[in-house]
Amino acid sequence: MTNATITENPLLIGKGLPPFDKIEASHIVPAITAILKQLETDLVNIEKSVTPTWEGLVEPLTVMEEKLGWSWGIVGHLMGVKNSPELREAYEKMQPEIVKFYSKLSQSKPLYEAFKGLRHSADWDKFEPAQKRIVESSLQDFELSGVGLEGETKERFNQIQLELAELSTKFSNNVLDATKAFKLKLTDKKDVEGLPASALGLMAQTANLSPSPSPTEEGNNDSSTLAGGTEGGKATPESGPWVVTLDYPSYIPFMQHATNSELREKLYKAFLSRASEGKLDNNPNIDRILELKKEKANILGFNTFAELSLARKMAPSVAAVDQLSEELRVASYDAAVKEFEELKAFAAKSDPKYADLKHWDTSYWAEKQKEAKFKFNAEELRPYFPLPRVLEGLFGLVKRIFGVTIVAADGEAPVWQEDVRFFRVDNEQGEAIANFYLDPYSRPAEKRGGAWMNDCVGRATMTVEGKTSTRLPVAYLICNQTPPVDDKPSLMTFGEVTTLFHEFGHGLQHMLTTIDYVGASGINNVEWDAVELPSQFMENWCYDRPTLFGMAKHYQTGETLPEEYYQKLLDSKNYMSGSGMLRQLHFGMVDIALHHNYQPGGELTPRDIRNKIAETSTVLKPLSEDNFLCAFGHIFAGGYAAGYYSYKWAEVLSADAFAAFEEVGLDNEEAVAEVGKKYRDTVLSLGGSLHPMEVFKQFRGREPQTEPLLKHSGLATA
């Protein structure tokens, strides 16, 4: 890699779509260094000349933040989708400098005083709601960033911010590396009994792509050393060898279908102990993160980090979060116990040796029980969900309910990997209003697991050289679904379909916003526990008849999914829903407890706290080897610290929002379009310009209720 000079560095363009075809890791350090140097000067100048007006404060500040946000946003994005040693090195070198700059910016007393002046100025009553929210949120952000701190306390606070950023990156890298390091190569056909063709195809493909063995990789016995393919030949789905990994598209089918319980146990324990030992051990990182977060909260005048976290959320207090969690736990616990007893009885009847059901057996027997109950298995549906058809169905739905058209625009923007696609979103008049990238497939060697939406460019009104125009929003949609195998397209599980719909819901809120101030457009300034509303809302449509039949077409014959399968999907929708809800509640309760009750250096470890909560929020208690927290990136390396409850909080909102469509009749096209327009004009359009409760009330005419969620989950009577 050449060390590019500043003039030809693509990370310095600062606007428009990122030139992914030109960006190299070697560009990062010179570009970010140059930008930060310029911004230091800009900050000094704005502090000297700041006036408490929109034009004299908010606008120049936005320009500064955008300059850094564009370039550093690209680097952060590549860390998630195209991770490499060179990229990591550059990121880790510049991250502390970024944190230092943001600390300086968010602790600027002249800017804070100017915002206070603006809040109490004569212009205040003339401002639009979006402008008012931006000013009020900015004031709160300054306060929560330590603007009021002095001397040693301020210095300590800034050290904490630096160390937390570093620990978060380290945590995430450890999980990626630990997931990547485990490969189990199988050579005996008995070891892959029960696995569907799709799983065998992926495992053979993985074997062909696998490098030669390294000391950290595991074989299942002496004869199964790791290598790419076989001696002098290529791995095939029929005769192997097969390599299974801890990446979801590989791990989940193995746990659900492999008849070999010992191998399931091995895989399960490897999955649960990721990043929990050796040089990738996240245990010390967890302790340190929790300790620092508590100290940070105390410095800002909060008792706990959970209280600090909720200061910027919809939920009014930790007590309110606990109350919702407990209400839903009570509604789901007995159902989950009953589901597990039924599962145990089913397994024991099928095979007496399973009378005592182990953790690694539950997915397998749940799959078997589901097949027996509903007379189909999830694999049978895969051929009906090829990605191109699913996209057609998804795009057809958003046209039907929101009136927008999605058009393929591949080739119109550089991409970071050949499978990435680019699309345009047009309004009813055929005018472009947004774009998005879609990166659908799992790439365990360089891409972190999970699925997410991120903003590439935010909507804003820009005035350049006297000409005002609207900058259109652009989103990144990232999934980790089963990649195409051989000559077949990506054949999706129904779970992967709902994940795509989920992320697209986030994308719609970013792309269909009508707010022209970047600080409140799209997902910006939306309280974290409301941000899952549009995503979870979209999942409901996967069970909607026209939507499903619009996309469920056999990839070879084009035949639509048979009606009986649709009925079975509906019947099985709430299969083990008590267990599913309890699982999410367990994660959320552990998260809040760690950030509210945990005493660093006290008698109880984070794991003890988790195990204590498990007594009333799990049916099968965690194993002694269970180190799940070491890979809980949502709360230790993502934005969900003391906020994992948001999934359930927002699910109450999303279920109630979907109920508005059900109430008018999902088959009533005209009424659905009418409610869709109202939803688009409120939830999707208003972004962070109003408090989410106000937005919800504008859409629904009242505050949200928990009843629709319990009804949708089949737990209303439980």
Give me the amino acid identity at 318.
V
| Beta carbons within 8 Å of 91's beta carbon, 6+ residues apart | 28, 75, 76, 79, 169
163 given a catalytic annotation = no
Rounded to the nearest 10 degrees, the angle between the axes of helix 151-181 and helix 85-106 is: 160
CA distance 149 to 151: 7
Residue with tokens 């950030």: 595
Secondary structure of residue 368 in the 3-state scheme = helix
DSSP three-state, residue 525: coil
CB 391 within 8 A of CB 490: no
Is the Cβ–Cβ distance between 242 and 192 less than 8 Å? yes
CB 83 within 8 A of CB 177: no
Distance between CA atoms of residues 476 and 716, nearest Å: 36
Instruction: Say if CB 214 and CB 193 are below 8 A apart.
Output: no
Q: Which residue has the tokens 């539950």?
A: 362
Instruction: Please name the residue that has the structure tokens 């267990």.
Output: 579
482/250 Cα distance (integer angstroms): 8
Q: Which spans in 351-455 are helix H?
A: 359-374, 378-381, 387-402
* 3 state SS for 129-179: HHHHHHHHHHHHHHHHCCCCCCHHHHHHHHHHHHHHHHHHHHHHHHHHHHH
Classify the phi-psi angles of 450: left when phi > 0, otherwise alpha if psi is within -120 to 50, otherwise beta: left
DSSP notation for 189-209: GGGGTT--HHHHHHHHHHHHH
Report long-range pairs for 409-413 (Cβ below 8 Å, ≥24 apart). Answer: 409/435, 413/17, 413/437
How do 432-441 and 474-481 pair as beta strands? Answer: parallel
What does the block give as tokens for 125? Answer: 């009553």
DSSP code of residue 475? E
509, two tokens: 């809120």
d(CA 704, CA 191): 50
Residue 243, classed as helix, strand or coil, is: strand
Cis upstream peptide for 241 (omega within 30°):
yes
Of 217, 339, 379, 503, catalytic: 503
Q: Are 60 and 46 in contact (CB under 8 A)?
A: yes
| Identity of residue 99 | V
Q: Which two tokens stand for residue 685?
A: 């359009």
How far the first Cα of the chain sits from its last, in Å, is: 62
Strands (E), 253-320: none
Token pair listed for 410: 């591949």
Secondary element (H or E) of residue 461: strand 460-464
Q: Which residues are catalytic?
A: 503
